[in-house]
Amino acid sequence: MLKCKGKACEVVLDIRVFYFSPLFSARRPREKISVFRSIVGLCLVLAASIAAFFLFPDLAVRIAAGGVFFISTISLGMTLFNYFNKRNIRQGTEGGTEGSGNEDAISGRGEIASTHRSTSEKQRLSATQGGHRVGLPEEIPEHLYRFDEHDLPTDDPSAEFNFLTRRLLAALKDQLLAHTTALFWINIDRQQIVIGEFVTDSRNFTTARRIPLGSDLISNIGKLGKPVVLQNITENAEGDLLVYYDGRAGIRSFVGVPVFFKAETIAVLAADSTAADAFGIETVASMGTFTGIVSMLLASYNHKFDLTADAKLLQALDQGRRAMQSAMDPYGIATAAAETAVRLLDWDYAAVILYNSEKQGWVVMRSMTRLPNLPYVSEGVTVDVDRSVFRPVLHYQEGRILDAPQPPAFRFHEKEVVASSGQLCVAPIMTTRRCIGFLIVEYREGAQYGSRDLDVLTRVGDLTGIFLELAAGRELARKHLIIDEGTKTASRTLFLQRLREEYERIQRHGGTAVFFLVALDSPEEMLERHGVEGVETIVGQIANIIRGALAPYDVLGRYESTRFGLLLLHSTAEEAFIRGEKIRKSVASMVLSQDGSSFSVTVSLGGCTIVQGHEYDNLFRIAEQALTLTAGDGGNSVKVV
């Protein structure tokens, strides 16, 4: 069947002439010979139709001759066009060489083999489409269609979720030809938009982490849970509608779709463009597919998030417990509590306030800040709790989330000048009987803390109260003990009692004595290396050496965890220095072993001479100063004043 180009007529030829068979097929063997025979045959038919038209006057014959002439002319043109077009393609793909050699080689395998090309030839032909070069599969870079599996952060569920979300946003941006695609988390409790992952071409995308919920497009979608499509945004309205830009970005179109999780709107997937009418209803449908993927990813990782958060909380509490147990004094416990709190919560300032029975007031025991230029209170400052914003916490003895105080309200005292628009998370520090302090964490941005943050801080406060109560009981027991169990020396209480008695005797009857403070050098390093039990063993060995160098009437007592008090009676400064040097050398030459390793330790001695006329309180101050001088010399030395 043959059709004319304009589909104006259709002529059915029932003539199975040998010459006509290869006219519309270029796949028969011996292509050149076949095409040549077709051309010759068509020329003969043309000549015959012309002769019949002029030789026979009959109208019907002339019409038939004209039709045959017309059809033959079209067939001849198509045959020539197909032949030269195929030859040009072969020359382009094979470097301009004529393809007759390949055709001849194929023709030798039979007519069936001529209808199939080799794989390499198909690839070469597929690489040329309409004169344009198309990259072969092996020529396309892998980074365009696959990413390295090692790039996926599998250790952190949050980082893993953000990585996959970023990939989705990049794919959405390419699909929509958008200027920016972003995921905004909606926190209804805190009335915040939390900036999630984003892919943008703009330099004006906001650097803020959180934006208050308002009347902008993202806020409205988050509140109502309905998609929004804007096809023409004016320049004047851009700043009010698109709050995630810090300046004008030339945005003219916007589309936003809510992301649901457990039937609640938790996020907004948004895209914008600098072109007007860039998005429509079909865009919402496309983005709906992406929001569904985000929801499924979130459901998959939600369990991982909870497990990771719980593990982080337990790890931080365990670290805090060990630090408090190692310190077992109010300042050390307060420090461990503050450090534990700032590991778990966002913060700019943290403090621990404890009740001081000697001062009959609330005192800042520990103060930490990330902003040293702000005049937060120093440690040791007395707090007016009855007039501060902490009063409700003390009154109800439960944690509270408080707005940062504005004058005339205050945190610690009425003269503070710290301005803040953020929040304070405050938890009471409770013992079995009463509230003995507060644990405070402050962040200088509003709507930062939620109920979970308060629960976490309350746990830290409860742990702090337990160890403070244990430390108070331990100190009370130490005051009433006569012998220190670890070193078998006099307890602090007994040593101070003997020191007071000898001081009074010298003041009344005369004589001299020397009061020494003997301190283990680098106690923090020893504690980190050998632990609490190892340090106790070291201190016990030092006590044995000191005891062996004393006269029967001298007094040795455990003054602090790694310090001893030593009272050398009937001794001058020169004699005390010699005896102190003997103790120092004996300790330095002592070889200790633990866990299969040997090591040595050193001590420093700072002494004060006791004579008539000296004030009792000055003994401790002078001995501390002498011990500070030894530390300045690198330790392992003796100073007597």
Per CATH, is 481-640 categorized as 3.30.70.270?
yes
pLDDT of residue 92: 52
pLDDT of residue 315: 81
Residue 516 has pLDDT above 60, yes or no: yes
Q: What percent of the chain lies above the pLDDT cut of 70?
A: 81
What residues contact residue 74 under an 8 Å CB cut-off, 6+ apart? Answer: 2, 4, 5
pLDDT of residue 361: 87
Q: What is the mean pLDDT of residues 50-62?
A: 77
Q: Where along the chain do its domains lie?
A: 2-129, 154-304, 328-477, 481-640
Write out pLDDT tens, residues 137-170: 666 776 666 666 556 666 666 778 888 889 899 9
Q: Which CA distances in Å does 456 have to 341, 453, 465?
A: 8, 5, 15
Residue 31 has pLDDT above 70, yes or no: no
Q: Which of the residue ranges 276-290, 298-312, 414-428, 565-579 would you say has the lowest mean pLDDT?
A: 298-312
Q: Do 259 and 291 meet the contact criterion of CB atoms below 8 Å apart? A: yes
Write out pLDDT tens, residues 347-359: 888 999 999 888 8
pLDDT band at 97 (very low <50, low <70, confident <90, very high): very low
DSSP for 190-244, please give it: TTEEEEEEEEES-S-B---SEEE--SSHHHHHHHH---EEES---HHHHHHH-TT
Q: Which of the residue ranges 330-344, 469-483, 530-544 would you say has the lowest mean pLDDT?
A: 469-483
SS3 638: strand
pLDDT of residue 80: 76
Q: Which of the residue ranges 294-303, 378-387, 389-398 would you say has the lowest mean pLDDT?
A: 294-303
298 sits in which H/E element: helix 281-327
Q: Do 194 and 184 meet the contact criterion of CB atoms below 8 Å apart? A: yes
pLDDT of residue 99: 40
- Quote the crossing angle between the two packed helices 523-548 and 573-588, to the nearest 10°: 120
What residues contact residue 412 under an 8 Å CB cut-off, 6+ apart? Answer: 364, 377, 381, 383, 384, 388
Residue 534 has pLDDT above 80, yes or no: yes
At the topology level of CATH, where does 154-304 sit? Beta-Lactamase (3.30.450)
Going 24 to 30 to 31 to 36, the CA torsion angle's sign is negative
Q: What is the mean pLDDT of residues 529-557?
A: 91
Q: Which two three-digit tokens encode residue 358?
A: 């000697």
Residue 363 or residue 406, greater confidence: 363
pLDDT of residue 149: 59
Residue 466 has pLDDT above 70, yes or no: yes
Residue 618 or residue 138, greater confidence: 618
Q: Which of the residue ranges 16-30, 304-318, 341-355 would you say has the lowest mean pLDDT?
A: 16-30
Q: Do 44 and 68 meet the contact criterion of CB atoms below 8 Å apart? A: no
Q: Alpha-carbon distance 304 to 156, whole Å?
A: 9
Mean of all residue pLDDT scores within the chain = 80
pLDDT of residue 392: 87
pLDDT band at 388 (very low <50, low <70, confident <90, very high): confident
What residues contact residue 344 under an 8 Å CB cut-off, 6+ apart? Answer: 312, 313, 316, 456, 457, 460
What residues contact residue 311 under an 8 Å CB cut-off, 6+ apart? Answer: none
Compute how many other C-beta atoms are within 10 angstroms of the C-beta atom of residue 539.
Answer: 22
pLDDT of residue 478: 66
Q: Do 367 and 378 meet the contact criterion of CB atoms below 8 Å apart? A: yes
pLDDT of residue 299: 74
Q: Do 399 and 393 meet the contact criterion of CB atoms below 8 Å apart? A: yes
Task: Indicate the pairing of strand 603-610 with strand 638-640.
Answer: parallel
CA 579 from chain centre, in angstroms, equals 58
Render the burial of 266-283: b for 16+ CB within 10 Å, e for the rest: bbbbbbbbeeeebbeeeb
CATH entry, 328-477, from 3.90.550.10, 3.10.20.30, 3.40.50.10860, 3.30.450.40: 3.30.450.40
Query: Which amino acid type is present at position 601?
Result: V
What residues contact residue 608 under an 8 Å CB cut-off, 6+ apart? Answer: 514, 515, 618, 619, 622, 623, 626, 640, 641
154-304 and 328-477 agree in CATH topology: yes
pLDDT of residue 150: 56
Residue 310 has pLDDT above 80, yes or no: no
Q: What percent of the chain lies above the pLDDT cut of 90?
A: 34
Render the burial of 299-318: b for 16+ CB within 10 Å, e for the rest: eebeeeeeeeeeeebeebbe
Q: Which two three-digit tokens encode residue 246?
A: 């810090």
pLDDT of residue 153: 64
Write out pLDDT tens, residues 103-114: 443 333 333 333
Cis peptide leading into 141, omega within 30 of 0? no
Q: Which of the residue ranges 1-10, 137-146, 379-388, 577-586 would you say has the lowest mean pLDDT?
A: 1-10
Write out pLDDT tens, residues 253-302: 999 999 998 888 989 999 999 999 999 999 999 898 888 888 888 777 76
Q: Which of the residue ranges 148-157, 246-255, 609-618 would you say has the lowest mean pLDDT?
A: 148-157
DSSP-derived secondary structure letter, 264: E
453 sits in which H/E element: helix 451-480
